[in-house]
Amino acid sequence: MYIIEALILALLGISLLHPGTFVEYKVQVHFLQLNQTLTELLFENITGMYNNGSFAYNLTVYSLNYSIIVGTSIVNDNSTCPSTFFYLPNTGKSTINRGVPLTLLSIKNGTYSYTGRQYANYVEIEYFYYVNSSGVPYKIEILQIGENGAIASNTTYTLIASNIINHEEVPILPKGFKFAKEVKVSLSGGINNFLDETTGSYILLITVILAIVLAGVRRFAKKI
Amino acid sequence: MQRKYETLLVIVLSILVGILALWKVFLHVGYIYQRDSYPAYYLTSRNLALSLLQFPGIMDNVYMPVVILLYFNLISPEVADWISYFLFPFALAFPSMYFASRYFLNKFTDAKDRVKVAASTIVALFYSISPTAYYFSHWSNYAAFYALLPALIAGTFYSLEKRGIIGAFLLSLFSSLTTTDPRGFIFTLFIVLTVLLYRHKKADLITFLLSIPFYVLLNSRLFLYLLINLHSYVSYGYGISNVQLWLNYYTFNLLDSLRGLSLFRPLTSYLSFYGTPLSHVNPLIVYVFSFAFVELGLLGYIFLKKRSIATYFLLLYLFLVLIVSSNFYFLNYNVTLNILYPVWGYLAQTLLYPYLWIFLPTYISEMILAPLYLLVALVLAKILERYYFIPLVALICLAQFSFSASFVLSGNYQGQYNPVNPPSSVVELGKFLESHTDGNVFVNASSPYNGFLQFLPNVTNASFYNTSKIGVILNEAGVQYVVTTENNTYVESIINSHKGVFTLVYNNSGFLAYKNNYFTYHIISPVYVNFNSTTIPPTNESLNVIPSYLIFNIPSKYIGGYLGNVSYAELLALSAYKQGIDPLTLKVKHLPSYTNFTDTIYVNVYDQEILSKYPGISFIGVGEPSSLNLDVASGYYKVVLVYVSVPGGGTFTITNGSSLLSVSTSAPNVSVNFSYLGEIYVSKEAKLMFNGNQASYLLDVMFIPNNITLLTQFANEPISSYPSAYGRALGTAYTPSSFIPVLVNVITFLITILIFLGREKILIIIKRGKTNI
């Protein structure tokens, strides 16, 4: 029902975007080399529409791994063809001009698959958007391919809620998450740091004890 | 005879170690892409040799044979690339550590020959494949220093024993091995001085002083480079210090320093066994095992009988470890060390700041492992005397190997070494550009070879808009050629609609190069400030144009006006600058993070965005409520603040004690802003304050006398500009004269050899001269 309404509105060229419009995704990033997965909620919420064809939305990222709000920022975008906001008003066209231009890959059972490709220095990033006529992608996959041709990370966006498809939908956001304090970029993260703080402490202790004991033993042996 | 076999063994093992370290890429004779550099794949052997000889090219003496081979076309650049990966440091470190260890074992122990050979082989093997060796393998000069440091230590002892002219000459030769660049020179001097201190003999001091002239003659190139290009070096150093000094601040754990690990640990971890047969190994075991040689050295020292040389190694090792370490965890307490950091912090406020990069902890960790492993060699020789200890040694070796195992097993340093084959189409394009361009190259291509395309000669960034002035605008960025691919409709549509501007000069295997007909090498005109970088300045002819954030970098006499729309604040700032009013010099500190006003760059997402969006920008960062006294004479002023807006941000306030002028830096986008704050009367003092808790970026503060007039006409002086990496640079192009140091070095090198060979005759002549007098 809502889809038909949305279709009609879209056909009439009326933008479905207005203050309060939101999309919410669950994002899973899997880093193959580290074998680590980050899970996040990404919430895009339109705060203002402007006459010049642009709009502003609030982007909030919730880290489910650490139960904190990682960041919030206001982003300006173009309402006729948003370049970052997850809404594709021109779904069905063979190319869509987003931040990363998308080309139509296939249409199957009302699902449009788009693909896009970006080269960032030596790294290739491949995008796959799966979207139906509502214009809101229900799944996005992003593959990061390293210089050696191997997949370095695999990101999946899964739609949780959006009031573009269903007016009555409300965002499902975790409660009680605090804003992350400005995280100092520690260059020494990871498991080695963890081990330095735990096991390393004992290694240091044992070394000191052994050094004292062995020096004692040697002195004693000399006397004999 | 035995010596011969031993030498042969070392040569064979050195080659095998080189292969073992990077076995997966060993058969790839060609370019290997490293973590942050693509090779200059379009150069011929001769051109590569010449580019390596220019400032600030390579200075390490041990790389010279490769350069000579290249210069005389005896090897191709691919072969040079290939052999240097195995030589630096893997294949060089083995013989260096082997013979150093052998020397000390011969001199200070009475172990059997086979024990000495075994102990030396073990330490040399593990020294060559240590995680530190892998890390520094990315840069041939650092790798050479790491590899040859054991040779320097042993060589210094050997030369000082020899004494006299021969000793002095040998000392200068050994020191030249590790003189890989200014940093290598300082570190070499440090090591030689520690040996002099340890031996504290008067005769040594004479040998050392005698070796100085030899050393200077052998390395005249380095000192001439420094003399001629000091200003460039200082600016390089300044950039490096800014970024790296504070990156290293307070981050080194003692336990990492003990194992020679430092800044590089997070980039590739020795604990990550992904893609190797040991992918399910428990990191805890590897972590504990990685201390094998550290424990062996420290605890084994207690059991050594003749300790004198061992004490030198131990003290040198512990000294280096302790000065670079920031902290360690002991029974749930975080113990802070930071012994050298306050010294750095103090020096950073002095004139020495641009030179501090030489002493960065990252580089000091090059020196940590050599003394430790030499100490381990002494301990191993002691243990191996008893046959029943052999299983223990095997166990220790196995444990130590696990430290390097993830790198060795991966065969390509965990994917950091990637063979690349630039396709011949890209190489041809590169060769064409190399021989045809004296300007910049703008690349906008959709190709899987974008990695290579970004490393074509003289690639620069520029605006590429569909406008009739496109040729002129590209020339303002020094762009002579536009490179694109056949299927790139965006670029093609623009080029096709401006047929007179572009000439197709290259069309081969899908790559197109268009010549910008409006390109001129020099632009001679006053400098115009572009206040609106997103719109196209209305120029009809080639003008020198700079973005607004660089306005105060140009002497005001050259500024001839502005392009684009101008706000009141911008016109006021420009008019005042033209009339001799400079922005205030702010007395800010070099801080590790934005706790107060600081001119250092702290790594966060906005810093990176600002730096990449506005090349050449320098800003003052602040992120907590702070205040700063301003040096302003009393009077009425109009205040203009130049800042970079960011999401979040904060408020900058100017106060005279009673009234305030403020501006908020918060905006959805990162952009440079000129803001007119209002008028203020300064009687005694003025203060700049910041209120907020998120990073904010200040560029300049201007106190403009109230009676200044707004200019509509700008008196100006033309200046010449030429294409450079950042678009264009003002002034005249710097012509590399740096072959002179190389030629002088060749001559002084020959002179040194002649002096050495004829030393006896020279002595006789000197004696005769004395008796004649």
| DSSP notation for B723-767 | EETTEEEES-PPPP-THHHHHHHHHHHHHHHHHHHTHHHHHHHHH
- Assess A52–B contact: CB distance below 8 Å, yes or no: no
Domains of chain A, by residue range, sit at 2-183, 188-224
* Spatial distance between the Cα atoms of A48 and B537, rounded to a whole number of angstroms: 31
**Across the interface, which of A76, A203, A205 has its CB nearest the CB of B291?**
A203
A196 interface with B at CB cutoff 8 Å: yes
Q: Which residues pair with B494 in a beta bridge?
A: none
Name the residue facing A185 among B252, B418, B603 (closest C-beta). B603
Residue at B715 is within a domain: no
User: Average pLDDT of B325-350?
Assistant: 83
Residues in a beta bridge with B10:
none
Q: What integer pLDDT is reported at residue B139 of this predicted model?
A: 86
Domain-located, residue B192: yes
Average pLDDT value for residue range B662-682: 88
Which among B648, B668, B694 is the nearest to A76, CB-wise? B668
CATH code of the region A2-183: 2.40.128
Identify whether the C-beta of residue A28 lies closer than 8 Å to the C-beta of residue A156: yes
Contact between chains at B418 and A191 (C-beta distance less than 8 A): no
Q: pLDDT band for position B264 (50/70/90)?
A: low
Specify whether B396 is located in the same domain as B446: no
Q: Does A7 touch chain B (CB under 8 A)?
A: no
Residues B271, A192: C-beta atoms closer than 8 Å: yes
Question: How far B86 CA sits from the closest chain A CA (Å)?
Answer: 20
State residue A190's pLDDT score. Answer: 65
Q: Closest residue of A to B283, CA-based? A: A191
Question: Domain containing B265: what range?
Answer: 2-410
Place of tokens 């424990």: B295
The pLDDT tens digits for B288-307 are: 999 999 999 999 999 898 88
Helices B182-199, B140-162: axis angle to 10 degrees equals: 30
Alpha carbon distance, N-terminus to C-terminus of chain B: 52
Helix intervals (H) in B54-91: 64-71, 77-86
- Same domain, yes or no, for B211 and B129? yes
Assess whether pLDDT exceeds 70 at residue B674.
yes
B759: Cβ–Cβ under 8 A, 6 or more apart, which residues?
A: B165, B166
Cα separation, A85 vs B771, in Å, equals: 93
Q: Are residues B25 and B173 in the same domain?
A: yes
Cβ pair A205:B331 closer than 8 A: yes
* Residue B141 or A187, more confident: B141
Pick the range with the lowest mean pLDDT from A169-183, B207-221, B473-487.
A169-183
Q: Which residue of A has its CA nearest to B254?
A: A196
CA distance B280 to chain A (A): 11
Lowest mean pLDDT among B119-123, B364-368, B559-563: B559-563
Give dist(CA A54, CA A85) in Å, integer: 12
Q: Which of B380, B410, B440 delimits the end of a domain?
A: B410
Helix orientation angle between B292-303 and A199-223, rounded to the nearest 10 degrees: 20
Pairwise CA distance, residues B752 & B500, whole Å: 61
- Looking at B112-116, B262-266, B630-634, B660-664, which range is the least confident one? B262-266
CA distance A150 to chain B (A): 10
Candidate from A33, A192, A214 with C-beta closest to B274? A33
Residues B293 and B437 in one domain: no
Residues B297 and B438 both lie in one domain: no
Per-residue confidence (pLDDT) for residue B270, from 0 to 100: 84
Same domain, B387 and B430: no
Residue B673 lies in a domain: no
CA–CA distance, B45 with B769 (Å, rounded to integer)? 50
Point out the residue among B295, B454, B647 whose CB comes nearest to the CB of A73.
Answer: B647
Facing B266 at nearest CB: one of A188, A205, A214 = A188
> How many distinct structural domains can be found in chain B?
2
Q: Using a CB–CB cutoff of 8 Å, tell me whether A94 touches chain B.
A: no
pLDDT tens for each residue of B232-245? 677 666 766 666 66
Do B448 and B311 share a structural domain? no
Residue B668 lies in a domain: no
Contacts of A148 in chain B (CB under 8 A): 412, 415, 418
The answer on pLDDT for B669 being more than 80 is: no
Residue of A nearest to B262 (CA): A188
**Is residue B243 domain-shared with residue B183, that is, in the same domain?**
yes
State residue B232's pLDDT score: 67
| Cβ–Cβ < 8 Å for B584, B631 | yes
Residue B159 lies inside a defined structural domain of this protein: yes
Contact A192 B256 (CB under 8 A): yes
pLDDT value for B761: 83
Q: Phi, psi at residue B143, to the nearest 5°? A: -65, -40
Rounded CA-CA distance B309/B199 in Å is 10
Residue B530 and residue B509: Cα distance in Å, rounded?
Answer: 39
Q: Do A207 and B295 touch (CB under 8 A)?
A: yes
Residues of B in contact with A75 (CB under 8 A): 668
Residues of chain A contacting B418 with CB distance shorter than 8 Å = 147-148
- Lowest mean pLDDT across A114-128, B408-422, B719-733: A114-128
Is 0.90 exceeded by the ipTM?
no
Give the nearest partner residue to B329 out of A34, A147, A200, using CB atoms.
A200
| Spatial CB neighbours of B57, under 8 Å, sequence gap ≥ 6 | B51
- Residue B119 counted as domain residue: yes
Asked if A199 and B33 come within 8 Å (Cβ–Cβ), the reply is no
- For the segment B689-710, the average pLDDT, to the nearest whole number, is 90
Q: Do B255 and A200 touch (CB under 8 A)?
A: yes
> What is the rounded average pLDDT of the residues A22-39?
81
- Residue B345, pLDDT > 70, answer yes
Say yes or no: A101 contacts chain B, CB-CB below 8 A.
no
Which residues of B fall within a CB distance of 8 Å from A218? 302-303
The residue of chain B with its CA nearest to that of A124 is B448
Please classify residue B238 by burial: count the beta carbons closer than 10 Å to its beta carbon, then call 0-12 exposed, 13-18 middle and 19+ buried.
middle
Environment class of B22 (CB within 10 Å of its CB; exposed 0-12, middle 13-18, buried 19+): buried
Integer CA distances (angstroms), A95 to A112, B65, B445, in order:
12, 55, 18
Interval B166-200: pLDDT, tens: 999 999 999 999 998 888 999 999 999 999 999 99
Q: Which of A171-180, B150-159, B371-380, B596-605 has the lowest mean pLDDT?
A: B596-605
Least confident of B98-107, B175-184, B264-273, B420-429: B264-273
User: pLDDT confidence of A13, banded at 50, 70, 90?
Assistant: very low
> Is residue A220 less than 8 Å (CB to CB) from chain B?
no
Interchain CB contact of A148 with B (< 8 Å): yes
Chain B residues with CB-CB distance to A56 below 8 A: 668
Confirm if B647 and B667 have CB atoms less than 8 A apart: yes
Q: Do A218 and B295 touch (CB under 8 A)?
A: no
pLDDT digits (tens, 9 = 90+) for B42-71: 999 998 998 888 766 667 889 999 999 999
Q: Do residues B400 and B322 share a domain?
A: yes
Distances (CA, A) of B96 to B81, B189, B241, B258: 22, 19, 31, 22
Same domain? B130 vs B32: yes
B185 and B243 assigned to the same domain? yes
Residue B524 phi, psi dihedral angles, 5° rounding: -115, 105
Mark whether B508 and B436 lie in a shared domain: yes
Q: Given B477, B498, B516, which residue is the final one in a domain? A: B516
The sign of the dihedral angle between the CA atoms of B530, B531, B532, B537 is: negative
Average of per-residue pLDDT values in chain B = 87
Size of interface A-B (CB pairs under 8 A): 117
Task: Please provide the DSSP assignment of B649-712 as one string.
Answer: --EEEEESSS-EEEEE-B-SS-EEEEEEEEEEEESS-EEEEEE-SS-EEEEEEEEEETTPPPPS
Q: Half-sphere exposure of B693 toward its Cβ, with a 13 Å CA cutoff?
A: 5
Determine if the peptide bond prior to B419 is cis (ω within 30°).
no
CB contact under 8 A, A210 and B415: no
Integer Cα distance of B8 and A134 in angstroms: 74
Return the pLDDT at A182.
Answer: 44
Nearest to B21 by CA among B119, B134, B97, B124: B134
| Model pLDDT for residues A31-77, shown as the tens digit of each residue | 776 667 778 888 999 988 887 778 888 888 888 877 777 767 777 78
DSSP B264-306: TTTTS-TT--TTSTTTT--HHHHHHHTTHHHHHHHHHHHH-SS
Q: Is residue B522 part of a domain?
A: no
Given this model, what pLDDT does residue B7 score? Answer: 95
Q: How confident is the model at residue A187 (pLDDT cuts 50, 70, 90)?
A: very low
- Last residue within a domain, chosen from B488, B516, B544: B516
